[in-house]
Amino acid sequence: MIKFFSNRELARNLDINLAKWKRWSREFLPPDPLGGMQSGYARQYSPDEAFTVHLGGHLVADLKFTIPEAKQVHKELHGWLESNGFYFDVKGEAATDSDERIPVKRYLVFICREPRIGNRNIDFFYIVRGIISNERVPYKGFEVMKEIYEETIIRPRKEYISDHNIDIVIMLNITDVLRHFVARLDLDRVHYPTLFREDL
């Protein structure tokens, strides 16, 4: 069963100013189809709608993207987020012992932006790092960290982007953003495959 949340409930539990939450909601979600049909109707958010607003707000408030940039980042990462278990799975059975994916503990997304040239739109590409393990190991008399990870590159517009002409790189710790969201709303991790896989 899916729990739905009100504006006030989400703002309180996620420790976000209510007016700011409503503003982000208008920016990152389409208009509520029920909003214009019932007088005095208060919007209710599914977990996925709430996470979309929360992630968009994090991109703007914490990572300092503009609203249009944050919308673009979310749109370009949506397919990857969906296929890697960052959205609510109703059955809570998406991650099982038979899951053949590499057991990634945490994902980091490096958002890379090319310099703006003329009137051309901003071009982003993304390096997604899936941390499999990290441990302290001795190395030439020092204790260092050994990290094992996989990387995926997401290039929405391959023809424009050069790896050697990057204006800025901002790291999005997407797994911790989801962990925080799930914990603050008291959602069951079993409904989020990317989190549930950590526990197997």
What is the domain partition of the chain in residue ranges?
A: 5-199
Q: Across residues 17-23, what is the average pLDDT?
A: 96
Angstrom distance (rounded) from CA 5 to CA 14 = 12
Q: Please name the residue that has the structure tokens 């040239």.
A: 117
The pLDDT value given to residue 200: 44
* Residue-wise pLDDT tens digits, 162-195: 555 566 789 999 999 999 999 999 999 989 999 9
Contact call for residues 104 and 86 (beta carbons, < 8 A): no
- The pLDDT > 90 percentage for the chain reads 61
- Torsion sign (Cα): 154, 160, 165, 170: negative
The pLDDT value given to residue 32: 80
Judged by average pLDDT, the poorest of 49-53, 72-76, 133-137 is 133-137
Report residue 41's pLDDT band, with 50, 70 and 90 as the boundaries.
Answer: confident
The pLDDT value given to residue 7: 95
The answer, yes or no, to whether residue 28 has pLDDT greater than 50, is yes
* Residue-wise pLDDT tens digits, 99-130: 566 788 999 999 998 766 656 667 888 999 99
The answer, yes or no, to whether residue 198 has pLDDT greater than 50, is yes
Angstrom distance (rounded) from CA 5 to CA 22 = 13
Closest CA to 196 of 125, 126, 96, 59: 96
The pLDDT value given to residue 120: 61
Global pTM reads 0.85
Q: Please name the residue that has the structure tokens 């958002």.
A: 111
Report residue 1's pLDDT band, with 50, 70 and 90 as the boundaries.
Answer: confident
The answer, yes or no, to whether residue 154 has pLDDT greater than 80, is yes
